[in-house]
Structure 1
Amino acid sequence: MRRNIVFIFIALLSLYTASAQADKAATQTVTSTVQKNTAPQRGTLYRATYRGNVSYLFGTIHVGQTAFYPLEPQVTRALSDAKKLVIEVDIRDTEAMRVAVMRHGIYPDGQTINQHLSADGSAQLRQALKRVGIPFENVARMKPWMVANLLLVQEMARNGFPTEQGIEKYFISIAQKQNKPIQELETADYQLSLFDSMSDVEQEEYLKENLTELANGEAMKKALALIAAWQIADAKALENALLEMQKGENASDRFLQQVLLDKRNPNMANKVEALLKTDKVSFVAVGALHLLGEKGVPKLLQKRGYEVQRIY
């Protein structure tokens, strides 16, 4: 289920397209909603412990809407109790994102995407851009992986889930109001370098697969189903989505499983392990898929001897 990719990296690309106005709107949303008393469970929440230290692990999605907020009391209390908020990447650092995008998502001067695509891939891209009203010149120097993800971001926004109301921005706004330090697990450069590690052939396959599913509606059908499961903390549906994804054999599925999840999860577990040894209480928010399955961060911590409880 390659559309799970939306929830892992869509927040990063939002920094390439979102404005300061959007950040202000997100902050206003938090201010107006965080004081409400009741809310349904969303996502998935774990508690890892070590010698009296606690690290809460919350599974996010990187898009949102005002109806998501406030998150339920267990989550907001856990963040309030924490001395530190930890997120995948500090999305406030727009300069770091700009540099990473230029390094990994944009071709050098004199190169264009046409030089790296087959005639069929170029034609399919032009048709997709025409459908959504984007001039080809606007993406001519973008690499195929970046064009694909950019179109996914825009399609999510058209379906009512803009990145400027994503969960990370919500948590950041709360942490700032509570004067909590904010730490990142990874860097924008590292995350985007993973996409850039694909060969030209792999990037074209990735682009064409995504363009096909955007055109036939499968991309949003799968993404919206996952969002629906996240909205009601449907653990079984989330786990089933991961299992289905693991069966995939095309380029996008392999890249998602082997690179975006299996390669990163052990490093994330290392960072949480370090937090457990140094911080009395921390709150870690990462994409929900990183917390699921036998290779997810909670299971990796359990295998290392840490006590991990799934709260819901």
Structure 2
Amino acid sequence: MTGAMKRLLLPLFAAFALTACGTQQDTALPADTEQAPALWAINGPDGAVEGWLFGTIHALPDDFAWRTPMLDSTLKSADMLVVEVAALDDGAALSQLFEDMAFDRPAGPIIDRIDPQYRDEFDALLVKAKVRRSYFDPMESWAAALALAQVAQSAKSANGVDRALLTSFKGREVVELEGAKAQLAIFDSLPEKEQRDLLNAVLDETASYEDEIGELARTWQTGDTAKLGELTKRGILADKELKQVLLVQRNQAWAAQIENLLSASQRPFVAVGAGHLLGPEGLPKLLEQRGYTVERVE
């Protein structure tokens, strides 16, 4: 792997920040609450708080303020942190895992997998990444999509909310909902047609990527979940098949895992991509279907 590509792929989980938000609207910020990223309390049958849900953004610009006194107080009260992937700081291992999975099947010339109208965008990203087209030829389409999404954005995974929360919980219990290998396996198992849809969708969004990611981050920062959903309706989750795999099925699996954690009498702070908390297929609704009351508190 070239040095340029190593720098490109190390923050691979930030590469797909565009899936951090869903496609449905949700409840508005309470009128008497200051603007802040959305935080939900999970209440049991007796009304006692048994845990929390917090939507994250996986990559943010420098000097982007988002922490609040209520959030910090809640983090201190939680017994554990629950995240999608915990080992975000092991860049070498993540990069090796990505390489092992991205190149394990013959893929063919990358240019043949890109729709003609997006080939100029692809070439522009190659220049930005300082790599040759031939590097992508043996790479599976899903992996090329992740890598190119990373090239397209300037927001940094080092500033991601997930990393900051993991730092806050250093020395305390952290639970993974998926882990790196399982998360990448979701993409790796997509049919080739869906992988190519993913690849072309990433290229389709490159022209407006920076503006959209900036607006997405600002909207998340203010807790406007209705607008957050609107912003992402035109994203890749508008594809029904991709939405089912990347959002709906994962939420269903996570809801079962979270219920198990809640039943253990420990209070988890669940921090996942913000889109996983929105709409009728979001985690708040799924947990309510399991008998909990989920209330937005910030």
Cα distance in structure 1, aligned partners of 2:253 and 2:223: 25
Residue 275 (1) aligns with residue 267 (2)? no
Helix, strand or coil for the counterpart of 2:169? helix
Contact 1:89 1:188 in 2 (8 A): yes
Residue 101 (1) aligns with residue 92 (2)? no
Residue 228 (1) aligns with residue 218 (2)? yes
Map of 2:174 onto structure 1: 182
| Displacement of 1:243 | 5.2
Taking only aligned residues, the RMSD between alpha carbons, in angstroms, comes to 3.0
Contact 1:145 1:206 in 2 (8 A): yes
Q: Where do 5+ consecutive residues of structure 2 fail to align? A: 1-5, 13-33
Cα distance in structure 2, aligned partners of 1:14 and 1:184: 25
Q: What is the letter of the counterpart of residue 44 of structure 1?
A: A
Contact 2:41 2:52 in 1 (8 A): yes
Structure 2 vs 1, CA of residues 17 and 173 (structure 1 numbering), >3 Å: closer, same or farther? same
Deviations 1:41-67 (A, max 9, x none): 443110102254521110000002342
Map of 2:208 onto structure 1: 218
**TM-score normalised per structure 2:** 0.78
Query: Runs (4+) of structure 1 moved beyond 6 Å?
Result: none
Contact 2:216 2:228 in 1 (8 A): yes
Structure 2 vs 1, CA of residues 302 and 123 (structure 1 numbering), >3 Å: closer, same or farther? closer
Map of 2:230 onto structure 1: 240
Q: Where do 5+ consecutive residues of structure 1 fail to align? A: 1-12, 20-39
Q: Among 290, 293, 297, which residue is 1:304 paired with?
A: 290
Contact 2:56 2:274 in 1 (8 A): yes
Contact 2:80 2:172 in 1 (8 A): yes
Contact 1:289 1:296 in 2 (8 A): yes
Structure 2 vs 1, CA of residues 126 and 244 (structure 1 numbering), >3 Å: closer, same or farther? closer
Structure with the bigger percentage of helix: 1
Map of 1:81 onto structure 2: 77
Helix, strand or coil for the counterpart of 1:186? coil
Cα distance in structure 1, aligned partners of 2:108 and 2:103: 9
Deviations 1:256-311 (A, max 9, x none): 41111111001111111112111432211100000000110000111111111111
Map of 1:167 onto structure 2: 161
Map of 2:141 onto structure 1: 144
Structure 2 vs 1, CA of residues 155 and 244 (structure 1 numbering), >3 Å: closer, same or farther? closer
| Displacement of 1:150 | 1.5
Cα distance in structure 2, aligned partners of 1:183 and 1:60: 16
Contact 2:125 2:152 in 1 (8 A): no
Map of 2:270 onto structure 1: 284
Deviations 1:121-157 (A, max 9, x none): 6955762444423222443432222222212222222
Residue 45 (1) aligns with residue 35 (2)? no
Map of 1:199 onto structure 2: 191
Cα distance in structure 2, aligned partners of 1:102 and 1:224: 29
Cα distance in structure 2, aligned partners of 1:231 and 1:63: 13
Map of 1:3 onto structure 2: none
What fraction of aligned residue pairs are identical, expressed as a percent? 29
Contact 2:42 2:51 in 1 (8 A): yes
Helix, strand or coil for the counterpart of 2:249? coil
**TM-score normalised per structure 1:** 0.75
